[in-house]
């Protein structure tokens, strides 16, 4: 659940900050060598279009798998927050695990980059890069204790990420050059970064500001207050209709915002469902999780 991930992110970032201090200014590169260890089992799952499911047990137990993305090599790549590794699984279920070289470098989110590598955020205040063959490079974020969270490939050929504690949106080039953009609203707690159909990056502000944020590739911000009072936000995605769609977990709604800022909100039939993650499906609908409703929801772009 998004709220649990953000809580873990905050705690991990504060612990790392307290124990390690500020990060060094130069990137470090290393090929992982630490062997897998541990005592309980974790798994990733695959579900076929017809509905049959297969689960694959991760070799390292207690791995606490988090986010997953399709890689440029035809495999799936995922974060192992519990043991500081990046995992790779083939479509047939063959695992390879790579230990992150940074001490206490728990990975948070992961995405495929425009350079053919996988990029991820680390709770140790770094952005990590791993090649399809397992070579790591890590880049310290200029702002210490920034709390990096979500990461996505932008429309400009760079990687963009949220700084949950630093109250910034960060940008890193494939060669490791950082630019950070402070969000106009203080303590906004940015999350759920996604590229919009308008060529901008969109995110939700999960704090009391209750806003949807937009940042252009050149760093210009626009913020849109949510119509619903006290509408705490969780996830956001680009829809098939040219709009952005987001979850309102406290007001139990799915929201839609146009690229120009026009809002429409759709109440979820199950009361108290607390919608969290949302994504566009291959069928042209929006799909979302209901954390407390214990359901998966589907909504077409017309709102039914």
**What would the mean pLDDT of 208-221 be, rounded to a whole number?**
94
CATH number for the domain formed by residue range(s) 1-19+63-149: 2.130.10.10
Least confident among 34-38, 59-63, 175-179: 34-38
First to last CA, the chain: 24
Q: Tell me which residue of 232, 230, 302 sits closest to 264, measured CA to CA.
A: 302
Residue-level length of the chain: 304
Residues 137-190 have pLDDT tens digits of 999 999 999 999 999 999 999 999 999 999 999 999 999 999 999 999 999 999
Query: Do the Cβ atoms of 296 and 281 come closer than 8 Å?
Result: no
Q: Does domain 183-304 have CATH number 1.25.40.10?
A: no
Q: What is the pLDDT of residue 208?
A: 80
Q: What is the pLDDT of residue 270?
A: 92
Q: Tell me which residue of 99, 95, 70, 68 sits closest to 82, measured CA to CA.
A: 99
Q: What is the pLDDT of residue 11?
A: 41
**What would the mean pLDDT of 213-236 be, rounded to a whole number?**
91
**What would the mean pLDDT of 90-104 be, rounded to a whole number?**
91
Q: How far apart are CA 231 and CA 193, in angstroms?
A: 18
Least confident among 13-17, 66-70, 289-293: 13-17
Q: What is the pLDDT of residue 230?
A: 73
Q: What is the pLDDT of residue 24?
A: 37
Q: What is the pLDDT of residue 2?
A: 44
Q: Is residue 255 scored above 50 in pLDDT?
A: yes
Higher local confidence (pLDDT), 15 or 295: 295
Residues 111-144 have pLDDT tens digits of 999 999 999 999 999 999 999 999 999 999 999 9
For 197, the token pair is 């159909």
Query: Do the Cβ atoms of 159 and 119 come closer than 8 Å?
Result: yes
Mean pLDDT of the chain: 85
Q: How many Cβ atoms are within 10 Å of 70's Cβ, its own excluded?
A: 11
Q: Is residue 8 scored above 60 in pLDDT?
A: no
54 pLDDT band (50/70/90 cuts)? confident
Q: How far apart are CA 72 and CA 80, in angstroms?
A: 19
Q: Tell me which residue of 145, 126, 256, 234 sits closest to 190, measured CA to CA.
A: 234
Cα three-residue angle 285-240-158, rounded to 5 degrees: 125
Q: What is the domain partition of the chain in residue ranges?
A: 1-19+63-149, 183-304
Same fold, 1-19+63-149 and 183-304: yes
Q: Is residue 203 scored above 50 in pLDDT?
A: yes
Q: Is residue 1 scored above 50 in pLDDT?
A: no
3-state helix/strand/coil string of the chain: CHHHHHHHHHHHHHHHHHHHCCCCCCCEEECCCCCCCCCCCEEEEEECCCCCEEEEEECCCCCCEEEEEECCCCCEEEEECCCCEEEEECCCCCEEEEECCCCCCCEEEEEECCCCCEEEEECCCEEEEECCCCCEEEEECCCCCCCEEEEEECCCCCEEEEECCCCEEEEECCCCCEEEEECCCCCCCEEEEEECCCCCEEEEECCCCCEEEEECCCCCEEEEECCCCCCCEEEEEECCCCCEEEEECCCCEEEEECCCCCEEEEECCCCCCCEEEEEECCCCCEEEEECCCCEEEEECCCCC
């Amino acid at each position: 659940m998004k709220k649990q991930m953000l809580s873990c992110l905050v705690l991990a970032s504060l612990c790392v900050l307290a124990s390690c201090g500020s990060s060094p200014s130069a990137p470090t590169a290393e090929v992982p060598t630490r062997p897998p260890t541990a005592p309980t089992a974790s798994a990733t799952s695959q579900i076929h279009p017809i509905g049959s499911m297969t689960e694959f047990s991760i070799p390292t137990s207690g791995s606490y798998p988090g986010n997953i993305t399709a890689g440029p090599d035809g495999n799936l790549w995922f974060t192992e927050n519990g043991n500081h590794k990046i995992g790779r699984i083939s479509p047939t279920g063959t695992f390879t695990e790579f230990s992150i070289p940074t001490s206490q470098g728990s990975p948070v989110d992961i995405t495929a980059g425009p350079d053919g590598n996988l990029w991820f955020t680390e709770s140790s205040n770094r952005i990590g890069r791993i090649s399809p063959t397992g070579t790591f490079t890590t880049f310290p974020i200029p702002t210490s204790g920034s709390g990096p969270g979500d990461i996505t490939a932008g429309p400009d050929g760079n990687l963009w990420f949220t700084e949950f504690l630093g109250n910034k949106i960060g940008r890193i080039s494939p060669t490791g050059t950082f630019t950070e953009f402070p969000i106009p609203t203080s303590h906004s707690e940015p999350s759920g970064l996604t590229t919009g159909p308008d060529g901008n990056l969109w995110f939700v502000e999960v704090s009391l500001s209750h806003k949807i944020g937009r940042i252009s590739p050149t760093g210009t911000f626009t913020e849109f207050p949510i119509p619903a009072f006290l509408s705490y936000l969780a996830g956001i995605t680009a829809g098939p209709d040219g709009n952005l769609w987001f979850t309102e977990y406290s007001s139990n709604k799915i929201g839609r915002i146009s690229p120009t800022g026009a809002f429409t909100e759709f109440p979820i039939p199950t009361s108290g469902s607390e919608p969290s993650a949302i994504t566009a499906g291959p069928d042209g609908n929006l799909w979302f999780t209901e954390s407390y409703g214990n359901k998966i929801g589907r909504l077409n772009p017309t709102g039914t």
